[in-house]
Amino acid sequence: MSLKPDALSVQLGFAGSGVSMTWSKAVGDERVARRVLAFLEDRRVLFGQRHLEDEWHCVRSAQEIRVFLTEQIGAAETSAELAASLRAMRAASRKFIDAAGPRAENFRAWGGDQSTHFGLALGDLRTLFGLQVARISATYGISIDPELASICPPVDNGDDPQDLSWLPGVE
């Protein structure tokens, strides 16, 4: 394995009979994280009022998000942790798009329970994105727009609202 200068920092330590390794974030991670969060802050599909959303526009927006995330994963040297968050959001977008069917037919509210399918799929999308957005924001200390922050899990950890250590994967 060859390490690129901006990609990864590895520290080896020898203590007694054991060997420890510490992996640190890739140098470009914060730049990629900022770019991704800024892009998501302008995606109303993630935080707009559900009853005002057009199903087809939401599917198209999810497609644009998926393409953007794929570009970010492929274009940058990112740590495994950041790449995992980007891939999780991309998978959530794909799941939402697949649930919609062709031209969002499964989401159209034409007299059946399709609108329920749309609401559930949109809720799943927002929940999955909210977890990853909170994780990225906490890991890199990046403030996010209040609208995007509205999909993040609620904080109930005492006096420090910036402490998201209770989230899976955030230390």
Partners of 14 in beta bridges: 19
pLDDT digits 0-9 by tens, 140-161: 999 999 999 999 998 765 556 5
Look at residue 107 in the predicted model and tell me its pLDDT. Answer: 85
Confidence of residue 15 (pLDDT cuts 50, 70, 90): very low
Q: Is the pLDDT confidence value at 110 over 80?
A: no
CB atoms within 10 A of CB 29: 23
Q: Is the pLDDT confidence value at 10 over 50?
A: no
With CA atoms as reference, report the closest residue to 63 among 113, 102, 19, 16: 102
Confidence of residue 116 (pLDDT cuts 50, 70, 90): confident
Q: Is the pLDDT confidence value at 113 over 80?
A: no
Distances (CA, A) of 101 to 58, 89, 114, 117: 12, 19, 11, 11
Structural domain boundaries in the chain: 28-149
Q: Which residue has the higher pLDDT, 49 or 6?
A: 49
Look at residue 157 in the predicted model and tell me its pLDDT. Answer: 58
Check: CB of residue 27 under 8 Å from CB of residue 7: yes
Confidence of residue 171 (pLDDT cuts 50, 70, 90): low
